[in-house]
């Protein structure tokens, strides 16, 4: 059996023209071949180069996505799903040209089942839009990758973020998906029940598939009640190891902390300047957030304060008012832009790994020492409660030596994480940026992934050049 991925080749020009003619007849001016529109859809928030598609189709329903896929399948034209373009590993670049399907117009909240703590939304709904809609019902959706990403894109990339240590990732919070397959068929992967033993778990097959197996058009999500009490705190540390070990011991002690975020001294310096955080120190720092009852939050906070104090942590700086908490977390979410502001005319090349929490201090310590030795300006941030951390290299994209050193450091860090039984990416996804680590991390399992890909997408039209190495 041939288990190799289908070759990545641009579509035949005559087939592409025929496909675009058919799509134009169906979509009218919602099919664009304008260069600015194509370029906008050929890049994301990452350092990866723009790879523009041949056209952009703006879909408004599952039925339209199905029709687009039928046309593209019949003419063997690549299809790239697009949500908001906030991904970080080149997920949306049109490696082989083709048609980008923009789902941002599919932004309706279809149902909220408050009694069952779930909802169903179209793929283009963003997380902020959803939480604004839910607020009056005392509910919220906890997955928070920082950017105001679309729910469909978050599902496709198996996103997580700052709340994952308590609430899990998209893998844990998606109940069911509506997916348009490569040939235009529409399937629903599961019912609304919280558990099922009926058949293969197709939901989790598509969560994290990055548009390589089908196009997600609707998502059924778990919801959570807004906690009675929420409190945030910031604690400085004398060194990185003390901060990381505090986070590790907090988790190992069973404290149900909602968020525990690490910022190294370089990132804190950047955030203090960029977000105007007065009274904070440019030292390794942990941001905490506690959810629960008034008594529960108080108990969690006391336990973590004691752990931090034993490991050299400073005084906790508390934020209990919503506006104060929002300012803290906005500063954390703007860490990428704060880092970019450290050097004029530079970009941030962002990467991430995840390791078992018992190896986290070791992995961060070695990666930090390697970063310092490389002579690169870089920052470290991390969702350290679940072993995930990021490095952002602040580099001049026109300096070939700097770019090469950043890639070399990233390679060493990823290989270090994999050697610790970790992964090349905890939440950014594979895209085209981490694709060369798949064989190293998964070995023969990649051939199984290729078999699944070939079975569901025999012509290889779904987001080619992503996830699986050719």
Say which CATH number the domain at 354 has: 3.40.462.10
315-324: average pLDDT = 90
On whether residue 441 sits in a domain, the answer given is no
**In a domain? residue 456:** no
> Residue 9: its pLDDT value, please?
76
Q: What is the structure's pLDDT at 124?
A: 98
144-159: pLDDT as tens digits = 998 899 999 999 999 9
Number of domains in the chain: 3
Q: What angle do CA 271, 276, 280 make, to 5 degrees?
A: 70
Share of the chain above pLDDT 90, in %: 92
Decide if 407 contacts 356 (C-beta within 8 A): no
β-strands 259-263, 378-383 pairing: antiparallel
Give the domain CATH number at 196. Answer: 3.30.465.10
For the cut 80, the answer to whether the pLDDT of residue 413 exceeds it is: yes
Residue 437 lies in a domain: no
Q: Describe the strand order of the beta sheet including 259-263 as a list of residue ranges.
A: 317-319, 229-236, 285-292, 259-263, 378-383, 388-395, 347-354
Tell whether 327 and 346 lie within a shared domain. yes
Q: How many CB atoms lie within 10 A of CB 155?
A: 28
What average pLDDT does range 129-157 have in this prediction? 95
State phi, psi for 165 to the nearest 5 degrees.
-60, -30
pLDDT band per the 50, 70, 90 thresholds, residue 331: very high
Residue 463 inside a domain? The answer is no
Q: Which pLDDT score is estimated for 3?
A: 37
Q: Are strands 55-58 and 31-32 parallel, antiparallel or unpaired?
A: antiparallel
Q: At what angle do helices 240-252 and 360-374 cross, to 10 degrees?
A: 160
pLDDT bracket for residue 470 (50, 70, 90):
confident
Backbone angles phi, psi at 465, to 5 degrees: 85, 10
pTM of the model: 0.94
pLDDT tens for each residue of 92-110: 999 999 999 999 999 999 9
Residue 454 covered by a domain: no
Together in a domain, 300 and 395: yes
Residues 212 and 234 in one domain: no
Query: How buried is 98 (Cβ within 10 angstroms: 0-12 exposed, 13-18 middle, 19+ buried)?
Result: buried
Distance, CA of 161 to CA of 385 (rounded, Å): 11
Same domain, 115 and 75: no
In order of 97, 352, 426, the CA distances from 422 in angstroms are 33, 11, 9
CA–CA dist 156, 89 (Å, integer) = 13
**Residue 283 shares a structural domain with residue 184:** no
Domain's final residue, options 204, 225, 246: 225
Q: Which domain holds residue 207?
A: 109-225
55-87 pLDDT, tens digit each: 999 999 999 999 999 999 999 999 999 999 999
180 within a domain of the structure (yes/no): yes
Q: Which residues pair with 178 in a beta bridge?
A: 188, 218
- Burial status of residue 303 (CB atoms within 10 A of its CB: 0-12, 13-18, 19 or more): middle
Give the mean model confidence (pLDDT) for residues 444-453.
97
Summarize the confidence of residues 194-222 as an average pLDDT.
97
Mean pLDDT, residues 235-249 taken together? 96
């Amino acid at each position: 059996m041939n288990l190799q991925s289908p070759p990545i080749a641009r579509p035949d020009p005559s087939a592409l023209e025929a496909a675009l003619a058919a799509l134009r007849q169906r979509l009218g001016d919602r099919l664009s071949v304008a260069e600015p529109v194509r370029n906008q859809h050929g890049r994301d928030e990452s350092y990866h180069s723009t790879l523009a598609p041949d056209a952009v189709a703006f879909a408004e329903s599952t039925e339209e996505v199905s029709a687009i896929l039928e046309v593209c399948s019949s003419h063997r034209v690549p299809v790239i799903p697009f949500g908001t373009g906030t991904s970080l590993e080149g997920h949306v670049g049109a490696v082989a040209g083709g048609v980008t399907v923009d789902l941002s117009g599919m932004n309706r909240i279809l149902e909220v089942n408050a009694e069952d703590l779930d909802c169903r939304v179209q793929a283009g709904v963003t997380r902020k839009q959803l939480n604004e809609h839910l607020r009056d019902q005392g509910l919220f959706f906890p997955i928070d990758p920082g950017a105001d990403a679309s729910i469909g894109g978050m599902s496709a990339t198996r996103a997580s973020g700052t709340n994952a240590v308590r609430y899990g990732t998209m893998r844990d919070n998606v109940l069911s998906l509506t997916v348009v397959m490569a040939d235009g068929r529409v399937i629903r992967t599961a019912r609304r029940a919280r558990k099922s033993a009926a058949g293969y778990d197709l939901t989790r097959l598509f969560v994290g598939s990055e548009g390589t197996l089908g196009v997600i058009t609707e998502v059924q999500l778990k919801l959570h009640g807004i906690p009675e009490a929420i409190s945030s705190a910031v604690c400085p540390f004398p060194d990185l190891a003390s901060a990381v070990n505090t986070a590790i011991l907090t988790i190992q002690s069973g404290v149900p902390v909602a968020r525990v975020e690490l910022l190294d001294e370089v990132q804190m310096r950047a955030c203090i300047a960029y977000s105007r955080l007065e009274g904070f120190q440019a030292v390794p720092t942990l941001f905490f957030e506690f959810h629960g009852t008034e008594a529960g939050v108080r108990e969690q906070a006391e336990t973590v304060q004691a752990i931090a104090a034993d490991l050299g942590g400073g005084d906790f700086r508390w934020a209990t008012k919503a506006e104060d908490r929002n300012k803290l977390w906005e500063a954390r979410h703007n860490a990428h832009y704060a880092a970019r502001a450290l050097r004029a005319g530079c970009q941030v090349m962002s990467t991430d790994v995840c390791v078992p929490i018992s190896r986290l201090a070791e992995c961060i310590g070695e990666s930090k020492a390697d970063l310092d030795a490389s002579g690169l300006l870089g920052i470290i941030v991390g969702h350290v409660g679940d072993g995930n951390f990021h490095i952002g290299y602040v580099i001049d994209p026109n300096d070939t030596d700097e770019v090469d050193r950043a890639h070399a450091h990233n390679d060493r860090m990823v290989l270090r994480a994999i050697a610790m039984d970790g992964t090349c990416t905890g939440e950014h996804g594979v895209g085209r940026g981490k694709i060369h680590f798949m064989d190293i991390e998964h070995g023969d399992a990649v051939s199984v992934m290729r078999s699944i890909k070939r079975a569901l997408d025999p012509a290889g039209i779904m987001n080619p050049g992503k996830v699986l190495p050719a």
